[in-house]
Structure 1
């Protein structure tokens, strides 16, 4: 991409989710997207400040939100938090927004909110700079309430057409699909196994990937952080064995090697997946995908790069795995480079920033 003219090099406030550090190995797609967005914006010459959880990657120039860490084994880390953590998150975002409305009012050209917290949305009207919020989930009640309160003071993007549509009753939303850094997800040789990667939680349903792999007679490897220990012990562990193994929470390079060495990647959402970043990562590695047709996932795949199954239909998913494993790896990589790349995503966000500053979107 050609660098923007000097007049279009921006000072950007990038607000991250406070629940998890923005650091490898990433907890999920939200953390990965924020990290890659920040790095690519800096590479393009922008001045970026990332407000994120303690422990985030220091190379981002992070300004830490003052939030207590979650207890090591306190249930669902991505859903629930002790009350004292919720209060700390509220105060951290309140302090940030008050600062941006006060002493830091002239510091940034634009604020890009990638948090799941309500305050950056609810307080957008108090800021002198335009605000863009990326919606990374289907409507959550606390965030939907803030969007209604915002009443057009800021602008919204969503990570898929499906997610944009799910918010359409409360906001005008532009679709900016998530993107992967294809240089960090290189083409792999393929192999004889299947792979499943992501947060190990009930709504990602890795146990169904294990069941489908067993039906298809394909060995499978799981990788990702265990965020729900009870679910892992009760639903996943009993299905592990010689042909179904858990590799742990891998560093990005190791995960890319694992995915690139698989015959097929399996994606099994038991909820309306907002995008499906793990599918895009697999395709970048040349690995075709078998997935449930939920949420934004059908937008990531094509007939040449994957097969879809009815949500929850393990037998159909097993057949999809068998068919997907025969697809052309070259076409998978080409699709990722052309349609699913980080470059394309950041091009679109840069365009939105410029439009905001020109008054072309709500501000």
Structure 2
């Protein structure tokens, strides 16, 4: 059965594929995908939003966001929702804003509210709403566990990003990238200070929304840190964001907020999902993650590497533990061994990773194996038998 769904955005941030806010990007993805399944999507958002289907715009008064301005905008949202219910056969109202309880429609149509932010940031009354047929759902398992007991809380629907569209084979450049809203909880000034201490330029992409706290943080904390060689890029479109993500030395997240989509405030769930997808990338070349397995980390349910396939590991091989359980010192040591740019590092199977300055290929492509067994035996052998091909 085809449904008509009214997507109600947070009224103070524009919606679109290039939106700065994560909730606005998720709403944009949902709105574009619903017609593929035979449903119709209508979006209610502020002026300046970009949608693929019908848009019901809400005008924002000029100036900073104050309590009086919020009350006026919430009244306009209630009027626009009532108008949409009269003009269109709405089957479901899907709300995304942190203030959705301020402009709930009258009873008679089901409402689903997606909680994009930490549960503690919402008023407690949203978990005991008197309005019938009003449902909530979280965007990650850890956020769902953090919610108080609520009979209308549905199982979580995890957020995601279409990472395949972001992949481009570009050479890494010498800069770090920071993306997001400019606000105190995102802590961008800490990323800029870290780049200054490391001698690495930091490119900051994002937007300052007209909240008094955000503007004070921008003027008093972030701007003093934006000295050369750091740069502020403003809001980024998709093509520019993709180019920067592929060319950056690293992507920095200095957020001190309990990020819901990165699976918990400690990031352990996000690390657990990401550790099996680690890739080492040098001079724009990808190498297989199996051959460069992160020592000291394993997937859930296996012993890590060859041990999980029933083969004994060499006695020099480090013990494998879940990556989420590694201490700060262990993690720093592992990263130093894997990504140090100044020394030649040697891995099991006779594979040597040369330093960044030499720009040489891994020796596994130039040597056929160790001199003792004639194959990659998993041991560090000082003598190797050269292949018939010329090095290089």
Name the TM tier (shorter chain): 0.5 to 0.7
Alignment of 1:172 with 2:145, yes or no, is: no
Shift in alpha-carbon separation, 1:316–1:50, aligned structure 2, 3 A: farther
Q: Output aligned runs, 1:1-363, within 5 Å.
A: 7=1, 9-23=2-16, 25-57=18-50, 59-65=52-58, 67-71=59-63, 74=64, 81-99=65-83, 103=86, 107-119=89-101, 123=105, 126-128=107-109, 130-139=110-119, 143-150=123-130, 153-170=133-150, 171-191=152-172, 192-227=174-209, 228-276=214-262, 293=266, 297-298=270-271, 301-302=274-275, 304-305=277-278
Larger Rg: 2
Deviations 1:290-329 (A, max 9, x none): x98359755663364499999xx9x999989878968xxx
Please list the CA deviations of residues 58-81 of structure 1 after superposition, one character each: whole Å capped at 9, or x if unmatched: 53310123x42341xx3xxxxxx2
Q: Map Cα deviations across residues 88-115 of structure 1 (whole Å, 9 max, x no partner).
A: 2221232245456x635x7123222212
Asked whether the 8 Å contact 1:22–1:35 carries over to 2, the reply is yes
Provide the rounded CA distance (Å) in 1 between the counterparts of 2:68 and 2:333: 47
Residues matched between the structures, number: 290
SS in structure 2 of the partner of residue 301 of structure 1? helix
- 1:204–1:188 distance in 2 versus 1, CA, 3 Å: farther
Highest RCO, 1 vs 2 (Cα 8 Å, sep ≥ 6): 1
- Partners of 2:57 and 2:170 lie apart in 1 by 40
8 Å Cα contact 2:78/2:104 also seen in 1: no
Residues 194 and 218 in structure 1, CA contact (< 8 A), matched pair in contact too: yes
* Structure-2 separation of matches of 1:89 and 1:232: 25
TM-score with structure 1 length normalisation?
0.67
In the aligned structure 2, how far is the partner of 1:141 from the partner of 1:205? 17
Displacement of 1:184 after TM fit?
3.8
Q: Matched residues in 2 for 1:318 and 1:243: separation? A: 26
The structure-2 alpha-carbon separation of the partners of 1:187 and 1:317, relative to structure 1 and needing over 3 Å to count, comes to farther
Change (3 A) 1:218 1:298: same
Structure-2 change in CA distance of 1:320 and 1:86 (3 Å)? farther
- 1:151-198 Cα distance to aligned partner (Å, 9 max, x none): 773222211222222223345242212122335423342513221111
- 1:186–1:156: structure 2 CA closer, same or farther, 3 Å change rule? same
Higher helix share: 1
Is contact 2:177–2:245 with CA below 8 Å preserved after alignment? yes
Give CA deviations for 1:187-220 in whole Å, capped at 9, x if unaligned.
3425132211111111101111122333444332
User: 1:236 and 1:119, CA in 2 relative to 1: closer, same or farther beyond 3 A?
Assistant: closer
Q: d(CA) in 1 for partners of 2:330 and 2:256?
A: 15
CA contact (8 A) 2:167 2:242 kept: yes
Give the alignment's TM-score, normalised by structure 2.
0.63
Q: Which deviates more from structure 2 when the two are superposed, residues 191-200 or residues 213-222?
A: 213-222
5+ residue gaps, structure 2? 280-293, 295-322, 341-392
Q: Structure 1 unaligned segments of length 5 or more: list them.
A: 1-6, 75-80, 278-290, 327-363
